[in-house]
Structure 1
């Protein structure tokens, strides 16, 4: 360790008087990290954190809930949800949440998580509330966040060519009103670093909002404004957040949430218009939607004809080029989903069309041979789920008209109170197309892939939990940086030991083998196997009601041809909670050493409320961050965050317009939340 490590250690000790978030926050962190491990490092997790915190503040009444509501609780598998409603049908309403122990598949960990987000008492329906009561009893949540990188990036300097035209400040304003689960409204305004707060083309750089009504007679849901759609297993129609392979093997069965109002700051994954869910008859619903919005796109004009190759999803409008691409493509979508749902059986038919202002064309690369071309795309799909005794069957078949198909089928079973298993098969044609899909797969898009997945959870006692899965996949056609048909596999094994409620130890091993072209400049004509192995040891323990710790050591072994790298990360989280204190907080001290970005290590980082995400540890150096929450008033909280990377043996950080001179990269955030 070098001098900066001593400085950081002193900083840790000086903050020992700070609180941590409550134990509930620690459980929410564990839930998010275990399910979101395979997401990209820039994925917006605010939708997930907001969802869990919403139900912690406004818990679900288990005696009044519906399957679509329980699907919001990501740690519940579809089989557990089905078993719950079968239990309610036979035994009637719950008197106590601990009755869940008698339901097949509900282990101690699941029940512990449920106790954070559920109750057995229902609020009054909206039909029995006056306007004044809605205003008085409704929940208003107003958040303002400011943040920025302290060092000056190259793009903010006075450069002769491309540069960032806006300020380095990051701003977020979010307002949300809710009354129980019957009425909601939200508004989100955001500005990223490098952007102007407003511009002549769009006004506020990003503005999103909606009003949602529930339980209006036969109209179960009605959303005006921005919304998301999630149906089936994500092959035909799915926007927003979705999970894939993870330590909990049941996560490969998607829990479709249907129509939802959209309140994330992500600027790409939503629809804009009107959508509703109407009950046609007993157990039969129809979802209809229409959306018209402008999308970011890179356009090319030649001989009076304008074409495009892809749609931008970053939401960044910092340079002249990015501003030129902003909202340059009109997107019109309309369609419907017909669903039949009972406690044990769910069937759904999807049909919708996407129409674009300009025509898609493929690039010259051979791997783009089967990419989508044209202005219009019609997608259809059929999805199902059925519970027979202790087995949950599920799947989806999707078709992009005039081109290919995508099919996934799976089964999940509680083999005993200790053992649950999942088996899944997928087959995605190389010419299947959907602009709104997010299913299980190794590729970033749902096409050109076949595979088998098998997983097992085993809990022989309350203290021990074992998880293992294997996934074999192959790609019949070429891919980016893979100039031939190819195949690979991924395996994971994990052991968790929890002898008491305040202590948990975990060991994990993960290996992935995927082929790839040789590196640029190499004359090697064949594909090379890229091997990546992860080894993790982790310990979480609560010393007392005030003090808690988390330690992790993770090693990554990356190998491709003659390149053989080993990177590692070691960190210590300290959580401290003085009794009756208005000030709470947590801190991390980490050391990392990776030869290159290939052997990088990901680790979840605590942040201000709704600001959580994954840190990317690459290079050699130390990392620390501190989060503070101060309850100023009963209805007002203030968060503060400071984070810093200190790299060794470098004089520049990053590349391109994001380049920073020196070996230090630090940022801070301030967030104010007022609830009334």
Structure 2
């Protein structure tokens, strides 16, 4: 407890703050925390807003593709915006957005830091010297480690971590807005050797991207992402799912993007481009070759088979190093799109080929899983804005197997009311290695669902959001030995008073079906219920001091077993300086959950581009302190100290990650140099 008092004392003496871009995405990460997978890198959201804060979007000279990068704008709002401009209107002030359907004061306040109506600087004739002097260079070095020793680092017989406990990231980015970008990323995770024979630095990623070269709108050599349609056919990287903002179920595809994340799974590596064929038609061919992690099984004929691909990116033990880069993957194809301000129709087709044969286990739920060495996928997607209605959808096909379809409509019924209706049907034998469509399951197959959502603003400062999602799984799943179904309900009230106060009240309930416990003689599926209650408020006392507090209660029940009840209470304190070079923020949290089933997710501030979601499970106290120091004009330094104290436990974690004792401490340092 003395450490916590010391942290609070330091906070009162220093001038803390949080990066404004991270404030903008706190709610977005909170809402998506339970849907995040191991291959998601949420720092992409922070980085995207940081770029547009430095390079505001000129609303009179922009495109739908650019506005989709603003994560808080819905596709319907974007469509309504271009309909407004198409009627001969030209913005003279950003506040004129209030005249456009769907643009309420909350949305406009979020937009203000990232948009402008001034004419940007255009380089008509770029000289070689300008590529260095007029460009932006951004160098980041990040170091983090646990102060307690984990079991894997002890000198024990058998499996152990072969590397050092530090996690290190080095990233260099070059940006010449509107013309070129490049990046080089090197990373090692905790437990990995600093260098290994296969890769040198454990993870190495790089790209060079050129823009607006005549008909070539984009050209990327190296690592890149592809995001088309609603994610049924081709999508890599993070995608939003269901959340209190009902518009999040409509994806905002970005097409081809350079890859700048340190995540080791969700990217392509090769060459890709977007070519303007004229008459609003874009053609995006791509080819990618990568060596993936996989656990292989030797067959009598000296061949190998595999059942899945490793996506963790961890290479700490002898086994993990053995499985590194054991499977070659070749992906090639193209996307053809017709794009206007309010209409997008696209066709995507590609093939993925693998070095070894996919096989499935003997379990019955694996009956329709993919087998073979190659897979061909094709899809047709569309979106169209008509008046205040946004229609969108996608049809996907894995050749020689199943179909997947998604159709939806989003409408602004009045300045106070918006609704969404979405239907999805993914066949049990629909196969796709690059699909991230809206759904309840982690994979885009074996699912049918109907989603309905409503946003309603009864008075100026109050927003009510409600959605319901009914889903069913026609075939068996892991730990579900029969066809099953379930539903998810959410209701939320948000009250705001200018920039001073924001209060949130939320209720969420989800019910699914699962096999009974092993000691239960009951043979049929049983219901698994999860529900949570949240009260949250954000109070800005003045320009310097800001408080954020949450109380959340969660409940978990399987069949007729006793209900597990857990809770989380935390308070964040921010002190925003006007001119001090030092800034910081502090959290004090108390949590109590009977098991991992009743865990609670919560956003946690971090160093720049490190924002993410924390999992609170067990019984204890957690605190962290983030400090930023503006050392000089071009250099900033961050430090983070995070402490978790658990009660009634003698070890933390499991397996090689196990820590003896009830205390877990992480320290992190980051240096950023811009030139």
Normalised to the residue count of structure 2, the TM-score between the two structures is 0.98
Does the Cα contact within 8 Å between 1:532 and 1:557 map onto a contact in 2?
yes
Distance 1:130 1:563 in 2: 71
Map of 2:398 onto structure 1? 400
2:242 is aligned with 1:252: no
Correspondent of 1:545 among 543, 546, 550: 543
Q: Does 1:666 align with 2:665?
A: yes
- Residue among 16, 34, 40 paired with 1:38: 34
Aligned equivalent of 1:112: 109
Query: Do the aligned residues in 2 keep the contact of 1:233 with 1:383 (CA within 8 Å)?
Result: yes
Within the alignment, does 1:600 sit opposite 2:599 as a pair?
Answer: yes
Any residues of structure 2 matched to 1:84-233 within 5 Å, and which?
Answer: 84-233=81-230
1:479-494 maps to which residues of 2 (within 5 A)?
Answer: 479-494=477-492
| Residue equivalent to 2:506 | 508
Take 1:674 and 1:55, find their aligned partners in 2: how far apart are those partners?
Answer: 19
What secondary structure, in the 3-state scheme, does the structure 2 residue paired with 1:494 have?
strand
Question: How far did 1:524 drift?
Answer: 2.5
In 2, Cα distance between equivalents of 1:588 and 1:282: 54
Task: Answer whether contact 2:30 2:602 (CA < 8 A) is retained.
Answer: no
**Residues 304-330 of structure 1: CA distance to partner in whole angstroms, max 9, x if unpaired?**
120000000000000011001100000
Deviation at 1:14, TM superposition (A): 3.5
Equivalent residue, structure 1, for 2:68: 71
Distance 1:497 1:322 in 2: 49
- Please name the residue that 2:653 is paired with: 654
Contact 1:32/1:48 (8 A) holds in 2: no
1:278 aligns with 2:265: no
Give 1:87 shift: 1.1
State the alpha-carbon separation in 2 of the partners of residues 671 and 495 from structure 1. 38
* Structure 2 CA distance for aligned equivalents of residues 228 and 578 of structure 1: 38
Counterpart position of 1:613: 612
Distance 2:603 2:20 in 1: 17
Q: Distance in 1 between matches of 2:285 and 2:391?
A: 26
Following the alignment from structure 2 to structure 1, what is the Cα–Cα distance between the partners of residues 186 and 356?
Answer: 28
Q: Cα 1:336–1:109, aligned 2, differ >3 Å: closer, same or farther?
A: same
Pair 1:28-2:24 in alignment = yes
Q: 1:26 to 1:143 in 2, by over 3 A?
A: closer
CA contact (8 A) 2:30 2:603 kept: no
Q: Does the CA contact (< 8 Å) of 1:345 and 1:387 recur in 2?
A: yes
Indicate yes or no: 2:295 matched with 1:295: no
How far apart in 1 are the matches of 2:498 and 2:46? 27
- Hey, what's the Cα distance between the residues in 2 that align with 1:251 and 1:510? 17
Q: Distance in 1 between matches of 2:10 and 2:641?
A: 15
Structure 2 CA distance for aligned equivalents of residues 356 and 506 of structure 1: 48
User: How far apart in 1 are the matches of 2:460 and 2:88?
Assistant: 26
Please tell me whether the aligned partners of residues 164 and 319 of structure 1 are also in contact (alpha carbons under 8 angstroms). yes
How many aligned positions are there? Answer: 672
Which residue is 1:565 aligned to?
564
Cα deviation, 1:514-559, whole Å, max 9, x if unaligned, reads: 1111223433312111100010000101011111100100000100
Structure-2 residue corresponding to 1:19: 15
After TM superposition, the structure 1 = structure 2 runs for residues 419-568 of structure 1, keeping only pairs within 5 Å, are 419-561=417-559, 562-568=561-567
Residue 312, structure 1, aligned to residue 336, structure 2: no
- Once the two structures are TM-superposed, the CA of residue 342 in structure 1 deviates from its matched residue by 1.2
Q: Is the 8 A contact 1:41 1:614 kept in 2?
A: no
Separation (CA, whole Å) in 1 of partners of 2:422 and 2:15:
44
Cα gap change, 1:169/1:27 in structure 2, threshold over 3 Å: closer, same or farther? closer
Distance of aligned partners of 1:7 and 1:208 in 2 relative to their CA distance in 1, 3 Å threshold = closer
CA distance in 2, matches of 1:60, 1:646: 45
Q: Gapped runs of 5+ residues in structure 1?
A: none
The separation in 2 between residues aligned to 1:348 and 1:251, in whole angstroms, is 21
- Structure 2 counterpart SS, 1:415: strand
Structure 2: how far apart are the matches of 1:21 and 1:487?
45
Runs of 4+ that moved beyond 4 A: none
TM-score, with normalisation over the residues of structure 1? 0.98
Q: What is the distance in 1 between the residues matched to 2:185 and 2:122?
A: 27
Residue 76 (structure 2) pairs with residue 83 (structure 1)? no
* SS state at 1:575 partner: strand
Give the distance between the partners of 2:10 and 2:177, measured in 1 at CA: 42
Instruction: Render the CA deviation track for 1:572-616: whole Å, top value 9, x for unaligned.
Output: 000012331000000000000001111111100000011111111
Partners in 1 of 2:293 and 2:124 — Cα distance?
Answer: 41
**What RMSD in Å do the two structures reach over aligned CA positions?**
1.3
Among 327, 349, 358, the residue aligned to 1:360:
358
| Cα distance, 1:452 vs structure 2 | 0.1
User: Structure 2 CA distance, aligned partners of 1:636 and 1:593?
Assistant: 40
Contact (CA 8 Å) 1:232, 1:348: kept in 2 or not? Answer: yes
- Measured in 1, the distance between the counterparts of 2:89 and 2:435 equals 38
8 Å contact kept, 2:63–2:341 = no
Q: State whether residues 470 and 491 of structure 1, in contact with CA within 8 Å, keep that contact through their aligned partners in structure 2.
A: yes
Corresponding residue for residue 642 of structure 1 = 641
* 1:289–1:335 CA contact under 8 A, matched in 2: yes
Q: Take 2:10 and 2:263, find their aligned partners in 1: how far apart are those partners?
A: 36
CA distance in 1, matches of 2:323, 2:118: 50
The 1-side partners of 2:88 and 2:18 are apart by: 35
1:80 Cα deviation from its structure 2 partner: 0.5
Alpha-carbon distance in structure 2 between the residues aligned to 1:652 and 1:41: 26
Aligned-partner Cα distance in 2 for 1:264–1:563: 43
Q: Is the 8 A contact 2:604 2:613 kept in 1?
A: yes
Seen in structure 2, the aligned counterparts of structure 1 residues 387 and 343 have a Cα distance that, compared at 3 Å, is same
Give the superposition deviation at 1:34.
4.8
Tell me how far 1:504 sits from its aligned partner: 0.7
The CA distance in 1 between the partners of 2:371 and 2:22, in whole Å, is: 47
Aligned to 2:47: 50
Query: Are 2:337 and 1:339 equivalent residues in the alignment?
Result: yes
Instruction: Indicate conservation of the 8 Å contact 1:18/1:586, yes or no.
Output: no
**Distance verdict in 2 for CA 1:286–1:404, change over 3 Å:** same
Residue segments in structure 2 that go unaligned for 5+ positions in a row: none
Q: Distance in 1 between matches of 2:405 and 2:672?
A: 44
